[in-house]
Amino acid sequence: MCSFLVVAATLSLIFDLSQVSERQRYRGPDHHSEVRIGDYVFIHDLLHMTGPLTRQPFLSDDQAIAAVFNGEIYNYKDLCPACLSDGEILLSLYKTYGAPLFARLLDGEFAIAIYDFSRAVVVLASDPFGTKPLSYACDSRGVHVATYQSSLTHLELDSRQVLPNTVLEISLQGGCHERYLGPTFEFDLRQFKTDTLSWDRAFTAAVQKRVRYARAGTAFLGLSSGYDSGAIQAALVSIGLPHAAYSIFSQEDLAILEARAQYSRNVSDSSLFILTERELDNSHSILQERGEPFRYSQRGRIGMMGDDPAASGLAFICELAREEGRSLYLSGTGADETISDYGFNGTRIFPHSDFGGLFPDSLGDIFPWQSFFMGTQRDYLMKEEMVAGAFGIEARYPFLDRTVIQEYLWLTPEVKNSEYKKPIADYIARRAYPIIHGKRGFDADANIMEGTSDATRILLNGKDTSKTSSTQEESSQLERDLKEARAFAAKLQSSFLHMQTWWYVRLQQTLRKPRPQPLFRQKGAVKAVTCVTDQDQTVADLPVFRLVQVTSPIDIINTCAELSGAQWSGMNVRVKSYLNYLEAQPPDDTLYMMVDGMDVVFNDLASVSNGKEFAPDEYIKRLFAAFDKPIVMSTEQLCGWGGANECNEEEIGRFPKAPTNSRFLNAGAYIGERSALISMLIWVINFANSSDFKSDQRLFFEYYWSHSQLIALDYHQVMFGNFIETVPVACPDGWKPPCAQQPCCTISDDFGLFNETLGLYDIRGCEIRRRLSGSEYRLPVAWHGNGVGKWIFLLVVDELARECPAVAEAILNATSVDGILNGFHAVAHHQERSESYKSAVGL
């Protein structure tokens, strides 16, 4: 791991470059260099990992070409047997093959910047997954590049990140003319391999190449009780590489960790830590001081990376590893995004799953899915890089090895879908490595101890060299530590059981509340239409589609009820199913309301329809008529699509000024007349076939921009409410959300403001009202919780479940009582289980 900053020399007269690159310098603690070449200053900070210490930039003999890079080239000996370090091959390959071919020859994890003064261009290259950060900016003074985007921000430059799997060429002659030269690796989307043996060999090779030239005693990993880190340790054991395994108790299975320590005892030093609030706060403070400010996208975790407890937990491990002389971190990042998609067989384990982990017969229908290159892939890679970089740790990613990924893509869909993380499960099973099945997250702030200043370290094997423990290796002390950890685990399990039981009983109490008065009989004048393949799917333990059904005051039609998850291949299925349904309906005056089936709830309209003595569908028709357009579409306060794609200024400007902050179209809900909707859906399908856009939101943008006379946007959200909330102040981290007005910052994704944001909503019975001013409130027909509004959606539904019997009943029907009963049984027999664990691992 290294860092670099290359800027026009004129900037050095205005700014103190050493201060500008201060955060970057933590990445390269072994050597600092600053060299001027022509009109540019090259600053490089080195973390020495391979071969003799080699300074950068690399220069051609005539100094016409200069190169800097960050990362590791694993096949450099194959490309240049005489080379002593991996960086030496860059200039020779570039001069021989040019761009982009030189980058395609590289097997590694890298970010490369080549200044070719002879051609007056800069060539930037990222590895297939962009594992190493790389940003650039250009102005009249030249082209400037940096490892960290904040360095360019400090220079008051408008910068952007190089995307994964990209080779760019940018002119040095002004004007910021850039040219995309192609990818660094092209994936083959055929699916033909019927077993996981080739993946098995590729993964072992991926781990081995990442430690082959490492100095002895430098490798370590963060070990959980799950699949990904377990597979890495199993590989390290199979190749016989000594390493350290650091575990944080959090929500891990103690018995599995003990068994893994015994399995790897000949090559690993295994330690388990029970963190304290103070220790976690210390790690958080270090990240705030040293870490690169990075904001997670709208998928997966939200907010700033530095505020993520998982980042603080990793920081604790990295700081400890550095103090113990270890600098090579093997990360399990990437497996969830490329192998499981945070789901299995169409069931999403986490809300940010793209397709529920169910691979179709044609991989091209979904490739690349959002998190393959971007989304949570980008978020979590940058978390690993920024945290490791703050401590001068080299992070490497065997699950993102290009051969490992290609071997997985080549597996038939039947193999991929046969078992959760099938190749990893097979890999572990072949080596009889201890495993706990199912997806487990890493929340370092879960199960931390109070009343002590230092973390407790429990040696599962190996020799202790840590400042945080005075434990000796006598077996009696080890036994006392393990007993203490088991007792702590029992206490935590009991606490979690308490929360589960409280929630279950609270919902049962909601069922005792009187049900709302039945609405006036509907006339079928309005129908709600959605497309959901798995009607019993849960998100955050909530049966989301069932909630749509029980809250809707009008008829619900699911056009995808007969489809299996295997038949889902993206938005085209949903839009085509809507079209097929509408074309089969009679040409009458019925209105059709299309809504997302996974993040929408309806309001109880009794208070606005019963009092006026008409049915809810009649009330909806009256609202619709007031817009005086054949289609009404929902709105939100942010302009974007596909989870992490934000509108640029030109795209924002294509939306007309609005009377509210909810200026931008949202495709999650819309209502219209049959003929108008049919025309729109046909246009969208045809446009999708001729464009590169895969997000229905962006496609509906295009339709609106060219047919605005046919569509009314629900600016006041009288028909469709949206849970995205913003405030007119600048974000403290520098992020500029694509809002209607600036300054602007989102608050619906800020954990520290959840209480205040939730306070904007008033839940009465089965109604969700948004407070406005004074006694005014907004009561739309339906509420949508997409993007950064997802958490408020979940929290509001939690509150709704405590007020609305129909919602409570739907959640209770989807909740397994067996889990709670098993919890009571587990607590009662914890001591007995602990004794059996001890016998199993020979303690």
Quote the pLDDT of residue 455.
Answer: 63
| Residue 67 contacts residue 114 (beta carbons within 8 Å) | yes
Residues 6+ positions from 225 with CB-CB distance below 8 Å: 252, 253, 256, 257, 260, 436, 440
| Residue environment code for 234-267, b if the CB has 16+ CB neighbours within 10 A, otherwise e | bbbbbeebbbbbbbbbbbbbbbbbbbbbbbbeeb
Residues 6+ positions from 193 with CB-CB distance below 8 Å: 407, 410, 411, 412, 415
All structural domains of the chain, each given as residue ranges with its CATH number in brackets, are 3-182 (3.60.20.10), 197-466 (3.40.50.620), 474-513+819-843 (no CATH), 521-802 (3.90.550.10)
3-state secondary structure of 159: coil
List the beta bridge partners of residue 295: 304
Name which of 326, 238, 262 is nearest 462 in CA terms: 262
Phi, psi dihedrals of residue 397, rounded to the nearest 5°: -130, 85
DSSP 33-93: EEEEETTEEEEEEE---SSS---SSEE-TTSSEEEEEEEEETTHHHH-TT-SSGGGHHHHH
Quote the pLDDT of residue 50.
Answer: 66
| Residue 295 contacts residue 264 (beta carbons within 8 Å) | no
Mean pLDDT for each 10-residue chunk of the chain (843 residues)?
91 85 83 93 86 86 95 92 87 94 96 97 98 95 94 91 96 90 96 97 97 89 93 97 89 84 93 81 86 72 74 92 95 95 83 87 92 92 93 96 98 96 96 76 47 60 47 49 58 61 81 70 83 82 90 93 60 86 94 94 82 78 96 96 76 95 96 97 88 76 96 97 94 85 90 87 93 86 92 92 92 76 54 45 43
Residues 6+ positions from 506 with CB-CB distance below 8 Å: 802
| Strand ranges, E, within 212-327 | 219-222, 243-248, 268-274
Segment holding 416, helix H or strand E = helix 413-416
What pTM does this model have?
0.63
Alpha carbon distances (Å) from 442 to 82, 137, 250, 301, 544: 43, 35, 7, 12, 24
Quote the pLDDT of residue 823.
Answer: 59
Segment holding 616, helix H or strand E = helix 616-627
Phi, psi dihedrals of residue 732, rounded to the nearest 5°: -65, -20
Quote the pLDDT of residue 534.
Answer: 81
Radius of gyration of the chain (CA): 28
Quote the pLDDT of residue 510.
Answer: 86
Phi, psi dihedrals of residue 248, rounded to the nearest 5°: -110, 130
Quote the pLDDT of residue 694.
Answer: 60
Phi, psi dihedrals of residue 609, rounded to the nearest 5°: -110, -45
| Residue 666 contacts residue 745 (beta carbons within 8 Å) | no
CB neighbours of residue 160 within 10 Å: 11
Round to whole Å and give the CA distance between 64 and 790.
52
Q: What is the DSSP letter of 736?
A: -
